[in-house]
């Protein structure tokens, strides 16, 4: 897939279209299990007007032992239909932290075949800083809309795929903090070994953003990726702790025009839990 558009939209862009009948705004706020916050409570306290709360842990494959794995297409479609998000809608995803979990939901939609989806650059903090209106209380109830899915398997990698990728020396870029990547800091989920996949590169998503919380310009991102060892002309797979931050890396790749970068859905929550997966450390 090759596209020239930017996967990010600005606060001004969204302000000028707020209330448009074909626009749907999604709050994708999510917190790590060790953080003392509740994303749904944060959504009810302050959100962009009309935003729908996308529960990353519920609109997922809940029969899996792994956290927030991709939902089956029929479950995803049912949730979107109930939320009034239908075919033909332009979707803008944001989160309350700036840009942390929004990319995961952006990737979810793209996997399900909906490409008219964007991420709000800077998220809710940028919206509020620019004087954007917020609302609270229960979500608006919308009329149900039909939502079609066309599963894009090329954007997803599984454990067997990753075993082959490691053996083949495919470029893998890991978004976990360096201490976890090196195996010198503990994982937030119990029972996982430390370290990283052999040959993997490390790029924590914090490095993708300027001081104002907005994603760096495409040329700067391209230089940053090259500096950590990514060869732009070769295939690359994004991974992280549980498939959230990896999607932020995929978003950065899309911003520089590389739209076909897949995410390892199970990420380290899966790889690090298996006793026979190869692991390297510092």
140, 48 contact by CB (below 8 A) = no
Q: Which residues contact 20 (CB under 8 A, 6 or more apart)?
A: 90
Q: Which residues contact 134 (CB under 8 A, 6 or more apart)?
A: 46, 47, 48, 49, 124, 127, 128
Measured CA to CA, the distance from residue 196 to residue 200 in angstroms comes to 7
DSSP state of 187: -
**36 forms bridges with which residues in the sheet?**
none
268, 242 contact by CB (below 8 A) = yes
Question: Helix 245-255 crosses helix 218-227 at what angle (to 10 degrees)?
Answer: 120
Cα 219 to Cα 197, 249, 253: the distances in Å are 28, 15, 11
Burial class (CB in 10 A: 0-12, 13-18, 19+), 12: exposed
- Residue 238 annotated to the active site: no
Cα 86 to Cα 57, 142, 221, 251: the distances in Å are 21, 11, 33, 23
Of the residues 51, 85, 92, 240, only one is catalytic, namely 240
What residue has token string 């549980």?
A: 242
271, 192 contact by CB (below 8 A) = no
102, 119 contact by CB (below 8 A) = yes
Active site residues: 240
């Amino acid at each position: 897939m090759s596209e020239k558009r930017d996967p990010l939209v600005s606060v001004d862009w969204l302000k000028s279209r707020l209330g448009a009948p074909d626009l749907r705004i999604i709050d994708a706020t999510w917190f790590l299990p060790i953080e003392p916050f509740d994303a749904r409570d944060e959504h009810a306290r302050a959100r962009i007007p009309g935003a729908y709360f996308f529960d990353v842990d519920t609109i997922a494959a809940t029969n899996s032992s792994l956290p927030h794995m991709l939902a089956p297409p029929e479950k995803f479609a049912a949730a979107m239909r109930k939320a009034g998000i239908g075919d033909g809608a332009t979707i803008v995803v944001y989160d309350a932290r700036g840009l942390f979990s929004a990319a995961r939901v952006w990737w979810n939609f793209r996997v399900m075949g909906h490409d008219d989806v964007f991420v709000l650059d800077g998220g809710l903090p940028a919206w509020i800083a620019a004087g954007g209106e917020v609302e609270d209380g229960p979500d608006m109830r919308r009329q149900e809309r039909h939502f079609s899915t066309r599963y894009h398997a090329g954007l997803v990698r599984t454990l067997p795929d990753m075993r082959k990728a490691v053996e083949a020396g495919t470029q893998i870029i890991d978004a976990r903090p360096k201490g976890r990547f090196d195996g010198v800091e503990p994982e937030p989920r119990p029972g996982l070994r430390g370290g990283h996949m052999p040959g993997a590169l490390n790029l924590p998503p914090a490095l993708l953003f300027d001081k104002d919380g907005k994603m760096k310009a495409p040329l700067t991102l391209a230089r940053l990726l090259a500096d950590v060892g990514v060869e732009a002309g070769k295939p690359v797979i994004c991974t992280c702790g549980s498939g959230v931050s990896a999607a932020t890396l995929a978003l950065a790749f899309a911003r520089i025009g590389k739209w076909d970068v897949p995410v390892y859905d199970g990420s380290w929550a899966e790889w690090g839990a298996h006793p026979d997966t190869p692991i390297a450390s510092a």
